[in-house]
Structure 1
Amino acid sequence: MLRNAFASAARSAPLRARYATTLSAGFPKATQRDSTKYGGVYTVTLIPGDGIGAEITDSVKEIFEYVNAPIEWDQYNVSGMSSTGETLFKEAMDSLKRNRVGLKGILFTPISTSGHISWNVAMRQQLDIYASVVLCKSLPGVPTRHNNVDFAIIRENTEGEYSGLEHQSYPGVVESLKVSTRMKAERIARFAFDFALKNNRKKVTCVHKANIMKLGDGLFLNTFRRVAEEYQSSGITFNDMIVDNTSMQLVAKPGQFDVMVMPNLYGAIVSNIGAALVGGPGVVPGCNVGREYALFEPGCRHVAQNLMGTNKANPTAMILSATMMLRHLGLDSLANNIASATFGVINDGKVRTADMGGSATTSEFTAEVIKKL
């Protein structure tokens, strides 16, 4: 199973010494199953995405080239800006099915009813990468209102409000279905508790709205409580919290949260709050995982269209997501070196992008990470 990259150090280190990207995702390493690997080199599907995607994935490619990482990119420049790229999207999906591991930026999803469906959601549903893991931790060198933030958001990725089942039953009347199943609620609840066990976490909080959606969220909550009983002997405590109260508690007292598990829409909202607590979307890594496939991407899903082509984007989230990918492939030492160099640049405070209060470009930040390496 995927293990904590600093497991040996963690035995003697205090809990707060945990690095943001050392958290495992609780699924088998690629080295334990058939993966696309030739001559010691892994083939990984790369989808840069829209907005700043190309710039921050270029940072990863530059760093990987410098350290001679055994990664060969199978790149597909899919874009969600228009609906004409469906053929390329299908080719990228075929690549992901072959390689089982991918790194991606965020694909734009149009709001217009005439636009295509979300290709981000389509990937998660078609590959059944049912668990989204977003890591929110205060970083040395990034001043924020709270300095004790350290929690993981486990988000069910394939149903709920993102089922995409809606229709206009009568002009001016729209019905949108929120699909909830016991099987998927149990699957994500077990994932959250297993994640807590493997990463020395002590508490799991279920986020819901069962006071209003008594059947849908009620099923999610009751399933969580039943699964939680099975883990009591492990010493992991559990509680639940209504989503609106959760939002307030995150802003006021984020230190009370450790591992959070929730349905799809709430995860999208809470991950944005979590990102704001620790310095913004540019520093929050994440991944989407299932039984067969793993897709790594920044945890706060913004295309940042306004920064596209300006060389001002912060590549930290993408770099740290890439180190999570390296750990998944069993390349822990390489991942640790890149993550440590990235944290070192941030902590030094000399080279910072605009979102961290500096004026450095994406290229300059990347070069400084390479200098640290």
Structure 2
Amino acid sequence: MSHQSISLLKNLISRITTGSRIQTRSVTYKTRPVTVIHGDVTNEVEQVMDAMHAPVYFETYDIIKGKYESFATGNGGIDTEEQSAFECRYNNVDIVVIRENTEGENAVREHQVVPGGVIQSFKVTMTKFWSDRIAKFAFEYAQSNKRKKVTAVHNKQKDEIFMKLADAFFLESSQEVAKMYPNITYDEICIANCCLQLVEKPERFDVIVTQDDLCGNIVSNIAAGVAGGSIMPGGHFGCEHAVFEQVESVGIGDNPVALLMYSVMMLRYLKLLLSADRLETAVKRAISEGKCGNNSTTTQDVVDAVIANLD
């Protein structure tokens, strides 16, 4: 990996993590623009931001006319041990899933060999550069957030590798980067066993990284379901921009808890750390009071409960 790439990744990681607990935090922030792609409950997020006087302003964007490219997705959740107001099958689960966004299935390279009969897909496109980048991203995230272990997920089965060259790039990169972080435990697991372990012993995982976007999508949705389903937030990180949303394919419709928690991720990405801490604390208080886990609770009820718990 080039020095330029490492420098870029360190700069990116520093923007999305809270960093050291003893860092100095300024109470004066420059107002930052936030682009909103309107959904069912994005207006409620704006309500909370206004109530807490977060130093951001909102602008709308037509997603049909725009284009955005991200290279990493980070799906994080609320620790099941902390959120006892929600009924969870497991305790002590706190997993972050990081996956590649621009390669693997997202490469989408295919053509029709025989009209109306045969379609050939070249969806597994991997490069050493991107393998280095996603591995470095995962370990930088783990180190910055005081995580203890990174697990690389691959398609290896026993002594065979289905995608020998693609998996070789990814595992080689992960092993090389792991040597640079001796304080972080590194291990590897095949996708089939990973899915099984997520259901049986999810507490064994800390940070999971996948290069294959299909594997990453499967793993992140299982992890989200284990830890709380539709309340899980997620983010997509590019070199200069980031997009935050509810973890896809879980739950029915948008959940205000997920949207508020990915707003916390957004505020930390913008280095608005005091605002991020205030919002996260308010959401957790509302959850602990049982005001977010009732089926009869409306979206506005959740918003009102969070606003009432703002310091």
Both structures adopt the same fold (TM-score exceeding 0.5): yes
Residue 278 of structure 2: aligned partner: 337
**Cα distance in 1 between the residues matched to 2:187 and 2:18:** 28
Residue 121 of structure 2: aligned partner: 176
Structure 1: unaligned runs, 5 residues or longer: 11-30, 32-38, 79-85, 94-122, 308-312
1:135 to 76, 96, 99: 76
Letter in 1 for 2:85: G
**Cα distance in 2 between the residues matched to 1:204 and 1:303:** 24
Letter in 2 for 1:40: K
SS in 1 for 2:107: strand
**Cα distance in 1 between the residues matched to 2:45 and 2:19:** 22
Does residue 41 of structure 1 match 2:31?
yes
Residue 165 of structure 2: aligned partner: 215
Does residue 370 of structure 1 match 2:311?
no
**Cα distance in 1 between the residues matched to 2:192 and 2:184:** 24
**Cα distance in 2 between the residues matched to 1:8 and 1:71:** 24
Residue 134 of structure 2: aligned partner: 188
Instruction: Return the offset for 1:357.
Output: 4.4
Instruction: Return the offset for 1:226.
Output: 2.1
Structure 2: unaligned runs, 5 residues or longer: 1-13
**TM-score with structure 2 setting the length:** 0.85
Residue 360 of structure 1: aligned partner: 297
Letter in 2 for 1:296: F
Maintained 8 Å contact 1:5/1:336? no
Maintained 8 Å contact 2:155/2:167? yes
Instruction: Return the offset for 1:347.
Output: 1.1
Instruction: Return the offset for 1:6.
Output: 8.0
Letter in 2 for 1:247: C
Residue 262 of structure 2: aligned partner: 321
Q: CA RMSD in A?
A: 2.2
| Structure 1 moving runs of 4+ over 4 Å | none
Q: Relative contact order (C-alpha < 8 Å, sep 6+): which is higher?
A: 2
Residue 15 of structure 2: aligned partner: 2
**CA 1:9 to 1:40, structure 2 compared with 1: closer, same or farther past 3 Å?**
closer
Maintained 8 Å contact 2:225/2:250? no
For residues 19-98 of structure 1, the aligned pairs below 5 Å read 40-48=30-38, 53-55=39-41, 57-78=42-63, 86=64, 89-90=65-66, 93=67
SS in 1 for 2:239: coil
Does residue 286 of structure 1 match 2:252?
no
**Cα distance in 1 between the residues matched to 2:250 and 2:95:** 24
**CA 1:333 to 1:370, structure 2 compared with 1: closer, same or farther past 3 Å?**
same
**Cα distance in 2 between the residues matched to 1:183 and 1:3:** 22
